[in-house]
Amino acid sequence: MIRSLLVANRAEIARRIVRTCRDLGIATVAVHSDADAAAPHAREADTAVRLPGDAPADTYLRGDLLVKAALAAGADAVHPGYGFLSEHADFARAVRDAGLVWVGPPPEAMEAMASKTRAKELMRKAGVPLLDPLDPAGVTAGDLPVLVKAAAGGGGRGMRVVRDLDALPAALDSARAEAASAFGDGEIFVEPYMEGARHVEVQVLADTHGTVWTLGTRDCSLQRRHQKVIEEAPAPGLDEELRRTLTESAANAARAIGYEGAGTVEFLVSAAGRAYFLEMNTRLQVEHPVTEEIYGLDLVALQLRIAEGAALDAEPPAPRGHAVEARLYAEDPARDWQPQTGIMHRLEIAGLRVDSGPADGDAIGVHYDPMLAKVIAVAPTRAEAVRRLAHGLERARLHGPVTNRELLVRALRHPEFEAARMDTGFLERHLPELTASATASDSASAADSPRGGDDDRAVPLAALAAALADAARRPATVAGRLGGWRNVPSQPQLRSYRAEPDGTEHEVRYRLTRDGLLAEGFPGVRLLSADPGRVVLDVAGVRRTFEVAAYGDRRYVDTPQGGHAFTALPRFPDPTARTEPGSLLAPMPGTVVRVAEVAVGDRVAAGQPLLWLEAMKMEHRVTAPAAGVLTALHAATGRQVEVGALLAVVAPEE
């Protein structure tokens, strides 16, 4: 029996494992980097061990330190979670060699699937359907588009879609470099890229007595940069023959390598309905909650019981209902998915299952993945589950860095998604409409909206509410705080706010008169009450409530129809705040991992990559803003930069 478990991971998955261990009566040991010293997973475990340093390579990727921590804390088992060392066979062996229980598959099974190229050879022998790889040197125009993929690792790293034959050499080089940096293995391969395909996977669970369960299918087609964003179970729209092919192939794959524990077999399903093996993840998946919800299981508890030698029942329970999961990231989809940092003042999502990493008041840093939480809705039907999830996300209170919340809500309500007509190109194809600014350019007609400001005119109303709440923070009566009625007409109160993240500025002018609130551009809007945290307006006869929170110069306005973030602007901006034209500033804190072959004095084209930053496990290109001459380059490989740091200057062409 496992009595004490070390969780060799962090954030959401570490908290998830600790929660199950608490239910099972198992003591827990957390590990934490210096950056995670105050993180929830370290606070919630019974014991915590420091891993000196911040970077993953110095902490969570140090198998020797993790084994040492387990022994020092008296743990008798190790659970790797997902990511980091969860699929490293050498780490699993080190855990076992130290006399500890490894909560995962045998190292030999992990090695069999560690390389995607070797895994495909094994699957071919097991009769699992495959896409035939292509010789990179022999790719022709007729083979396009193709996908360049890293043989090791996952999570979208080391992957490139190539649609132009001339672009293939550069894609091979960059994928190889990224794979070597991310996984320590630069092996890559090329295969056909299937347009319009779906990403469907099968959850498997196998004990040490020969029983293999397949727990239905999951659709994970909504992806950005080959990383999943929205997942659901069961995968909709599959006929019975295709479902049987998928589940039988997954079971055959698990048996072929002597698998034990929880794992996932992933497939591409073509538009014609044919399935092709992608890879097998020899660990728990991020999206495992949707399977748990429809089968009524705790997969972490089952992992632990299998590690203790327990046998599974002959057959799994029958599934019920439908579950959908959305990954909430600290990132800006409208700006090339740039990860965001800062304090997460509040993360509150009511009525749904929320598996989160940070808690209120935690800092979102640059060292790790930007996922904040997984939000899961379950209902008897797919339509109801999708509706519940979109509604819950829309009403969430997210006070902190910019997130992808709005994109998630719009994607869930998109006609193609509602009709289950999605594929892996969905987000790329619809990104402009999913990230279009909700800020209205004309606030004058806000009160005239038939929905009372629920549409794109909602942002000016939220800015008005922020101004009224700010005024209400001044000591005095409500009337006095809002300017009060006076016998001589006064000048309007003036407040300015910048909507985040799109940067649109809103100037709010209002007066409180004998007849009530007069706000320029908002005819017919009446003030019912105003407090520092709550403003109630009558908008075209409809009562609207705005919850307002202030943190420094940031304002967060929450309504039942969605949330809005603003920066309160000073009345007199600093005239010295200037940036040289053509300056390229670091969009986020990170590390320069590559610099293009350019030199000061070279002419560059608009959009030409100049360097690459790595932040939060992702690479981001920094490109020339316009055609011109490179007049300064302040970047070198390995340099750590803060947000706003000057990286280069391109003098625009006259």
Contacts of 546 (CB under 8 A, 6+ apart): 461, 462, 465, 469, 534, 535, 536, 537, 557, 558, 559
CA distances, 353 to each of 277, 332, 348, 385, 393 (Å): 31, 24, 11, 12, 11
Q: What is the pLDDT of residues 503-524, one digit of tens each?
A: 999 999 999 888 889 999 999 8
- Measure CA 568 to chain center: 28
Architecture of the 583-652 domain = Beta Barrel (2.40)
| Alpha-carbon gap, residue 545 to 548, rounded angstroms | 10
Q: What is the pLDDT of residues 306-346, one digit of tens each?
A: 999 999 999 999 999 999 999 999 999 999 899 999 999 99
pLDDT at 163: 93
pLDDT at 448: 36
- Please state, rounded to an integer, the average pLDDT across all residues of the chain: 90
Which parts of 129-167 fold into alpha helices (H)? none
Q: Which CATH class is domain 4-103?
A: alpha beta
Residue 485 has pLDDT above 60, yes or no: no
Q: What is the pLDDT of residues 539-579, one digit of tens each?
A: 999 999 999 999 999 999 999 999 999 999 987 665 555 56
Strands 353-356 and 525-531 come out as: unpaired
Residue 135 has pLDDT above 80, yes or no: yes
Least confident of 31-40, 58-67, 120-129: 120-129
pLDDT at 3: 98
Within the chain, all domains assigned CATH 3.40.50.20 are found at: 4-103
Least confident of 44-53, 425-434, 435-444: 435-444
Residue 584 has pLDDT above 90, yes or no: no
Within the chain, all domains assigned CATH 3.30.700 are found at: 443-569
| Alpha-carbon gap, residue 449 to 468, rounded angstroms | 21
pLDDT at 567: 96
Does domain 443-569 bear CATH number 3.40.50? no
Residue 450 has pLDDT above 70, yes or no: no
Q: What is the CATH number of domain 322-435?
A: 3.30.470.20
Within the chain, all domains assigned CATH 2.40.50.100 are found at: 583-652
pLDDT at 443: 35
First vs last Cα of the chain: how many Å apart? 74
pLDDT at 441: 35
pLDDT at 491: 76
Residue 299 has pLDDT above 80, yes or no: yes
Question: Band of the pLDDT at 8, cuts 50, 70, 90?
Answer: very high
| Alpha-carbon gap, residue 168 to 624, rounded angstroms | 22
The residue-averaged pLDDT of 620-628 equals: 86
Q: What is the pLDDT of residues 11-61, one digit of tens each?
A: 999 999 999 999 999 999 999 999 999 999 999 999 999 999 999 999 999
Two tokens, residue 70: 């387990």
| Alpha-carbon gap, residue 252 to 451, rounded angstroms | 54
Identify the residue with better confidence: 152 or 529. Answer: 529
Residue 265 has pLDDT above 80, yes or no: yes
Beta-bridge mates of residue 493: 510
Q: What is the pTM (predicted TM-score) of this model?
A: 0.86
pLDDT at 453: 37
Identify the residue with better confidence: 482 or 555. Answer: 555
Hey, is 618 helix, strand or coil? strand
What is the DSSP code string of 545-570? EEEEEEETTEEEEEETTEEEEEEEEP
Interaxial angle between packed helices 288-295 and 299-307, expressed in degrees from 0 to 180 and rounded to the nearest 10: 90
Question: Band of the pLDDT at 177, cuts 50, 70, 90?
Answer: confident
Look at residues 374, 361, 293 and name the one whose alpha carbon lies nearest to residue 329. Answer: 374
Q: What is the pLDDT of residues 454-464, one digit of tens each?
A: 455 799 999 99
Strands 609-615 and 590-595 come out as: antiparallel
Least confident of 156-160, 406-410, 564-568: 156-160
